[in-house]
Each structure stands twice: as C-alpha cells, then as structure tokens.
Amino acid sequence: MRTALYPGTFDPVTNGHLDLVKRALRLFDRLTVAVGTARDKAPLFTVEERVELIRLAVRGHGDVEVISFKGLLVDVVRDAGATAIIRGLREVSDFEYEFQMALMNRRLASEIETVFLMPSEKYTYLDSTIVKEVVMLGGDVEGLVPAPVHEALLAKKRGDR
C-alpha cells in the first residue's frame, strides 16, 4: 500500500488544500494529513480544532487519516508508514522554500521522496492567511473553504469559539 503524508498548519484548511488531497489520492492508496503546531505563527484555530475541521472536510474522500505532529517531519513520515511527502506549489515563490525543505528532508531521510503537486488554477491565489484576513474584515469566503470551516471562521469572528 502506497502511503503519502501531507503536512501543513492548515489554519484553516481551504478548498485548495482539499484539491491537493484529491490529487494525492490519485497517486497514493492512503494519505495522512499531518497538522503542525505552527510554532512560528499565531494560529487562529488550535491544533485540535484544525484536526477536527480537516476530518470533517475529508469525509468521503478515500483513505485519509488526520493527525497532529511536533518535531521533525521525516520522523512523522516514517511513523505514519509513508514513503512520500506531498507539498503544494501555487506560484514560483513557493518553490524556493519548498525546494530547500525537500533537500533538507532528503538529507535527513533519503528513502522519503517529496512530491510537488499544483492545485487547480482556481485555487492558485488561495491561502489560509488571505482567508482569515477576509473573514475578519467582514468579507465572504463561502466556496473557498469547506462548509464546516466557513461556520467555524464565522464563529471565531463573533467570538463564539
């Protein structure tokens, strides 16, 4: 069984992320979505909230497991029984950072491959930071995020969560 791991902060998960989940499942039998703690960011949602929102969003998408993680990514990949890391590339500027990370991961674990996937064109501009900013400023992101995420974002804006 071919397993890949798709890491990220997913704060929040967007339809662009889900597009990459679907694409990864065309290449791999099983996918683990790994939610990082976001040490260098100030996340809107807790790790537990992000894991739960992704679980709701990936229901019915195939063999997808959602976990949280801390520490070295290659250790998490090994623990998950995966042989590949899935990373998304939306624009050229993503490539520089992702290329550096892929080479470091290869140095740490040469048996693990990094697979770069491009999202559908309609999601190339979409990222979690923009989604959060638009919502907090009163804009509508319906259709850019799964319905449970949309509801959770509105609840955060209202101060309900």
Residues catalogued as catalytic = 17, 41, 90, 128
For residues 62 and 64, what is the distance between their CA atoms, to the nearest angstrom? 6
The enclosing H or E element of 112 equals none
- Helix, strand, coil percent content, the chain, rounded in steps of 5: 45, 20, 35
- Residue 11 corresponds to which tokens in the numbers above? 């704060």
- Compute and round to an integer the Cα radius of gyration of the chain: 15
